[in-house]
């Protein structure tokens, strides 16, 4: 089993959650803040089987967009589409 952690832009979070749930993924949406821009973004946690990882990444790829955003002192920066971590899960329980 794996835990996929995806940091996405707030504008993409709603449509992404909808797409994930429509495809049968369990997902949790957390409010987060980027360290560089210090602006709100969204972190989505998805617990899934190893064989589902590519399908979830594809969902993210199809939903999330690159955008340019103003950064204090650094002009514009290109943000997104998503920053994705895939972690091995040693134990998963729903009680």
Q: What is the number of the residue whose Cβ is closest to ligand 2BA?
A: 34
Contacts by 23-32, CB closer than 8 A, 24 or more apart: 23/55, 23/59, 25/52, 25/56, 25/59, 32/7
> Using the rule CB under 6 A, which residue among 22, 78, 90, 93 binds ligand 2BA?
78
Look-up of token digits 């589409």? 81
Residues 14-73 that bind ligand 2BA (CB under 6 A): 34-37, 41
7 binding ligand 2BA? (CB under 6 A): yes
> Which residues lie near ligand 2BA (CB under 6 A)?
7, 34-37, 41, 74, 77-80, 83
């Amino acid at each position: 089993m794996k835990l996929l952690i995806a940091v996405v832009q707030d504008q993409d979070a709603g449509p992404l959650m909808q797409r994930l749930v429509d495809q049968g993924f369990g997902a949790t949406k957390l409010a987060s803040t980027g360290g560089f821009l210090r602006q709100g973004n969204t972190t989505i946690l998805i617990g899934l089987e190893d064989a589902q990882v590519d399908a979830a990444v594809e969902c993210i790829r199809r939903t999330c967009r690159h955008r340019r955003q103003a950064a204090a002192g650094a002009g514009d920066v290109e943000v997104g589409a998503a920053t994705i971590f895939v972690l091995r899960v040693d134990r998963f329980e729903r009680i």
